[in-house]
């Protein structure tokens, strides 16, 4: 049953936006650069989750990432390197993926606390798009790969910091520019 109230949790506008940002995340996951020393590739997924969190309300942003994960979990090759399946979510890189709904939700919450400035978007994207993703990702990498947490952080977080900070800056800038365009979808 589709509810026609634009303020509802599952309005047609919000479902469309969640699906659109899940699609953006899929496209961005195809940007994947494997690193020889780490099972974690460089991808565009975190950029997409930062945009989702910065532009959508918390629930819609959360569900955009849930849709993305669900498509991958059933075997559709939407994850980095054109992979899919539940084994990816349970493998060494699964923690980074499973962190995405939480991260986008947190980014969205943080950007709605007060008027959003470029600095607040940067801070929200660092907290959600880097700290939360790295924490859950490195934790699962540690457990699945049998690494000490320090080694997991060195392999699964440190090499990506500069690139992710660049993603933070670009997504924060784009979000400020796109917010007026999406204003009609404001929660």
Residue 4 has pLDDT above 60, yes or no: no
| Confidence band for 10, pLDDT divided at 50, 70 and 90 | confident
Give residue 64's pLDDT.
98
Q: What distance lies between CA 96 and its chain's CA centroid?
A: 9
- CATH level 3 topology of 12-185: Arp2/3 complex 21 kDa subunit ARPC3 (1.10.1760)
Residue pair 99/129 in contact by the 8 Å Cβ criterion: no
Give residue 9's pLDDT.
67
| Confidence band for 164, pLDDT divided at 50, 70 and 90 | very high
Report the chain's terminal Cα–Cα distance, integer Å: 20
Residue 14 CA to residue 5 CA, distance in Å, equals: 10
Q: What distance lies between CA 23 and its chain's CA centroid?
A: 12
pTM of this prediction? 0.90
| Confidence band for 8, pLDDT divided at 50, 70 and 90 | low
Q: 80-129, pLDDT tens digit by residue?
A: 999 999 999 999 999 999 999 999 999 999 998 867 789 999 999 999 99
Residue 133 has pLDDT above 80, yes or no: yes
Give residue 40's pLDDT.
86
Residue 3 has pLDDT above 50, yes or no: no
- Joined together, the tokens standing for residue 65 give 């990432």
Q: Is 163 exposed, middle or buried (0-12, 13-18, 19+ CB in 10 A)?
A: middle
Q: Quick one: average pLDDT of 10-17? A: 90
Residue pair 80/65 in contact by the 8 Å Cβ criterion: no
Most confident of 39-43, 82-86, 180-184: 82-86
Determine phi and psi for 67, rounding to 5 degrees. Answer: -60, -45
Give residue 187's pLDDT.
47
């Amino acid at each position: 049953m589709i509810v026609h109230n634009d303020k509802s949790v599952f309005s047609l506008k919000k479902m469309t936006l969640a699906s659109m940002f899940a699609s953006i995340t899929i496209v961005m996951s195809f940007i994947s650069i494997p690193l020889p020393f780490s099972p974690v590739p460089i991808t565009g997924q975190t950029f997409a989750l930062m945009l989702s969190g910065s532009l959508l309300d918390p629930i819609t942003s959360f569900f955009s990432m849930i849709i993305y994960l669900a498509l991958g979990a059933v075997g559709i090759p939407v994850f980095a390197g054109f992979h899919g399946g539940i084994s990816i979510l349970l493998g060494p890189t699964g923690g980074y993926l499973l962190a995405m709904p939480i991260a986008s939700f947190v980014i969205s919450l943080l950007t709605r606390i007060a008027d959003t400035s470029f600095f607040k978007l940067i801070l929200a994207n660092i907290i959600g798009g880097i700290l939360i993703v790295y924490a859950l990702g490195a934790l699962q990498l540690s457990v699945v790969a049998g690494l000490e947490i320090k080694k997991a952080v060195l392999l699964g977080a440190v090499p990506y910091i500069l690139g992710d900070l660049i993603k933070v800056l670009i997504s924060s800038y784009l979000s400020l520019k796109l917010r007026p365009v999406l204003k009609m979808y404001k929660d």
